[in-house]
Chain A
Amino acid sequence: MIAVELRKLFRRPRTWATIAVLNALPVLVAVLLVLTDLAPRPGEGPPFLSAVLRNGALYPLAALAIVLPLFLPIAVAVVAGDSIAGEASAGTLRYLLARPAGRTRLLVAKLIAVLAFVLVTVLIVAGVGYVLGTTLFDAQPVTGTSVSGTSLTPADLGGRTLMAIGYVAVSMLGVAAFALFFSTLTDSPLGATMGALAVLVASSLLFTLDAASPIAPYLPTRYWLSFVDFFRDPIHWRDITRGIALQGVYVGVLLAAAWANFTTKDITS
């Protein structure tokens, strides 16, 4: 059933169209940077973007930072929100459940397909970013400079980049869990997607308010940008570990709720 769901997801043109649109923004930003040679001022713009003109090898990280606040979560929410509610709205859910596989296996298969989409999407954004960075900008393949001003070997830089990509993927799991949970509550994929995005917009808004600082450590978007901490020297693990733990709690609780809801609800469509 997992293989079936994976094939279904990645054979769907909509999936690749989503990934293509997601990469359009980093491509546009890279072209504009090359044409104008104007990097964002310090403190402005996505992380690493101001450093790209000095070292194009950092563009995969800048590309992730460009899509991380909005485009990437939208893509993940669309796919995850469609997973159960999409079958229900198309009238195919009852036929899927007619097979002896059971609801839990179907939910697990849908979950794994969403996880695969998250990972593939993040890798493609980083890969496209690398190609852009090394072809359009001056890249420094020998060594790099950490955010703290120390030199990083190619092995260091590569290892930290892989860890950052993994961290961004983990950060998106919370979005996927929200959308999957909402997808079990409604027959409308749009409703599930919008529900997950509403949570994220609310979280991002609350994070900017000093009055909301007591609940800030629990906001799902609180630690998203902590992938930058992999490039400090020494690595600043504090927010990274908290980000992973927070996503773990959200994913665990929401998937448990999705399972409890999906295995007990009446399937009418």
Chain B
Amino acid sequence: MAALVGVLVSLPALAGLLPASDASVSAPDLRAAVLASDTVGFSGFAESAGGLDLPVTDQLTSVADLFSDRTRMRVWWRGPIDHRVDVISAGGETGVHRDLMGSWAWEYERATATRTLNSALALPRPPDLLPSTLGRRLLSEATVAEVSRIGALRVAGRDALGLRLTPTEPASSVGRVDIWVDADTGLPLKVEVFGKGAALPALETRFLDFDPSAPDPSTTAFVAPPAAAIRGAPVTDVALEAGRRIRPVPLPPELAGLPRRVLTGVPPGIGLFGRGVTLLAVVPLPSRLAAGLRDALVQSPDAVVDEAGVRVSAGPVALMLLDPPGHGPYVLTGTVTLDALADAAAQLPELGGTP
């Protein structure tokens, strides 16, 4: 009897130990296959788990939950502008249906369908945490020198080829990103993001079920149910709203050794620096927004409070709020080290740096 129970319990673990077939694909070729995979149709079930306990204000709790909780997602993908991602919970579901002009978000427990039009700037949403989407995003600006092969693994019952991204910027707080890519389709099946020196991933997302065939269009389409409340997204979202209210500040072309980049659609007051998985955002905040954020930051047991401001990190994500006397407050955040944040703060023009 005990032997029977032992066999039954160990079956799933034994299935996971099945060896994966590797293929002689170079790292740059595998990266290219990943970047070309956004038009590959598939469906599946994915789960992401994050350990990033971001200290945030009330407006951003959904983003914080996304990176600190376990998120279970069903996905039907026909392409970048035709897909559906349902986040399922024990008692409900929130589905995002993407189409040409934007997306519908369906919330069962509120019986609400919210229409959001396409925007250049948006807060992270569950579809961004799909292994396929996240893997492509993280590899999009990786150089040949930053990627290497790391063998193969069985993921969701399929052979997945390993690709490791090791950022070369000294300011980066990301130690490495391991991406496991479906050998047949080039779709990332599993992504692990490790902080510098960390043995466990700060963020992990993987497919548990994967079907490499395109779903029917009727599955991804959305028609609001008759009894649903229909809403439009309020002024796109909180990031754009903040963008309108921030003061324009001339930011330098480089901070903490990271060059400034220009992105279309981003409010002019927001500065984005860096490349690939090493990014730093600088935002001059309105005082009212800063007060709430400061309260949240100082409550973190790991917060560093000094004359430079308040700094805190959650895994590889660092966040700093500084409020120089006589000037408005700034928030600096990104996947950089706390030292890099302090360096960047000292280079801001209102703190004596050169614009």
On A, residues with C-beta under 8 Å from B are 42-43, 45-48, 50-51, 54-55, 65, 140, 145, 147-151, 217-218, 225, 228-229, 232, 234, 236, 238, 249, 253, 256-257, 260
B289 touches A (CB below 8 Å):
no
Assess the B92–A147 pair: CB atoms within 8 A: yes
Could you count the A-B residue pairs with CB atoms below 8 Å apart for me: how many are there? 73
Assess the A51–B219 pair: CB atoms within 8 A: no
Select the residue from A43, A55, A149, A218 with max chain B CB neighbours within 10 A: A149
Bound-complex Cα distance A46 to B90 (A): 9
B214 touches A (CB below 8 Å):
no
Can you list 24 A-B pairs, Cβ within 8 angstroms, ordered by A? A42-B92, A42-B110, A43-B92, A45-B91, A46-B91, A48-B91, A51-B109, A54-B111, A65-B91, A145-B225, A147-B93, A148-B106, A148-B108, A149-B108, A149-B222, A149-B224, A149-B225, A151-B225, A232-B93, A238-B208, A249-B8, A253-B8, A256-B1, A257-B1
Leading 6 A-B pairs by shortest Cβ distance: A42-B109, A47-B91, A149-B106, A145-B225, A147-B93, A225-B90
B228 touches A (CB below 8 Å):
yes
Select the residue from B45, B88, B219 with max chain A CB neighbours within 10 A: B88
Select the residue from A42, A43, A232 with max chain B CB neighbours within 10 A: A42
| CB-based nearest B residue for A229 | B88
| Residues on the A chain within 8 Å of B227, using CB | 54-55, 140, 145
- Chain B's nearest CB lies how many Å from the CB of A232? 6
B113 touches A (CB below 8 Å):
yes
| Residues on the A chain within 8 Å of B74, using CB | 232, 236
Assess the A148–B109 pair: CB atoms within 8 A: no
B38 touches A (CB below 8 Å):
no
Bound-complex Cα distance A103 to B4 (A): 24
| Residues on the A chain within 8 Å of B9, using CB | 218
- Chain B's nearest CB lies how many Å from the CB of A170? 18
B82 touches A (CB below 8 Å):
no
Contact flags B96-116 to A (C-beta < 8 A → 1, else 0): 000000000011111101000
| Residues on the A chain within 8 Å of B225, using CB | 145, 149-151
| Residues on the B chain within 8 Å of A51, using CB | 108-109, 111
* Contacts A149-B113, A234-B219, A253-B1 given; does A42 touch B107 at CB 8 Å: yes
Assess the A149–B95 pair: CB atoms within 8 A: yes
| Residues on the B chain within 8 Å of A50, using CB | 109
Residues in B213-262 with C-beta less than 8 Å from chain A: 219, 222-228
Identify 20 new A-B residue pairs, CB closer than 8 A, beyond the known A149-B108, A232-B74: A42-B92, A43-B109, A46-B91, A47-B90, A51-B109, A55-B227, A145-B228, A147-B108, A148-B108, A149-B106, A150-B223, A150-B225, A151-B226, A228-B90, A232-B88, A236-B45, A236-B74, A253-B5, A256-B1, A260-B1
| CB-based nearest B residue for A218 | B9
On B, residues with C-beta under 8 Å from A are 1, 4-5, 8-9, 12, 45, 74, 86, 88-93, 95, 106-111, 113, 208-209, 219, 222-228
| Residues on the A chain within 8 Å of B89, using CB | 43
Bound-complex Cα distance A150 to B86 (A): 13
- Chain A's nearest CB lies how many Å from the CB of B223? 8
| CB-based nearest B residue for A145 | B225
Bound-complex Cα distance A50 to B9 (A): 37
Bound-complex Cα distance A260 to B1 (A): 10
| Residues on the A chain within 8 Å of B111, using CB | 51, 54, 145
| Residues on the A chain within 8 Å of B92, using CB | 42-43, 47, 147
Assess the A232–B86 pair: CB atoms within 8 A: yes
| CB-based nearest B residue for A150 | B225
- Chain A's nearest CB lies how many Å from the CB of B50? 11
| Residues on the A chain within 8 Å of B110, using CB | 42
| Residues on the B chain within 8 Å of A148, using CB | 86, 93, 95, 106, 108
Select the residue from B8, B113, B219, B228 with max chain A CB neighbours within 10 A: B8
Bound-complex Cα distance A112 to B67 (A): 48
| Residues on the B chain within 8 Å of A260, using CB | 1
- Chain A's nearest CB lies how many Å from the CB of B110? 5
Assess the A238–B86 pair: CB atoms within 8 A: no
Bound-complex Cα distance A148 to B9 (A): 33
- Chain A's nearest CB lies how many Å from the CB of B94? 9
Bound-complex Cα distance A50 to B90 (A): 13
| CB-based nearest A residue for B104 | A149
- Chain A's nearest CB lies how many Å from the CB of B105? 10
| CB-based nearest B residue for A234 | B219
| Residues on the B chain within 8 Å of A47, using CB | 90-92
- Chain B's nearest CB lies how many Å from the CB of A224? 10
| Residues on the B chain within 8 Å of A228, using CB | 90-91
- Chain A's nearest CB lies how many Å from the CB of B104? 9
| Residues on the B chain within 8 Å of A145, using CB | 111, 225, 227-228
- Chain A's nearest CB lies how many Å from the CB of B336? 28
Bound-complex Cα distance A249 to B91 (A): 26
| CB-based nearest A residue for B74 | A236
| Residues on the A chain within 8 Å of B4, using CB | 253
- Chain B's nearest CB lies how many Å from the CB of A165? 17
| Residues on the A chain within 8 Å of B1, using CB | 253, 256-257, 260
- Chain B's nearest CB lies how many Å from the CB of A144? 9
- Chain B's nearest CB lies how many Å from the CB of A238? 6
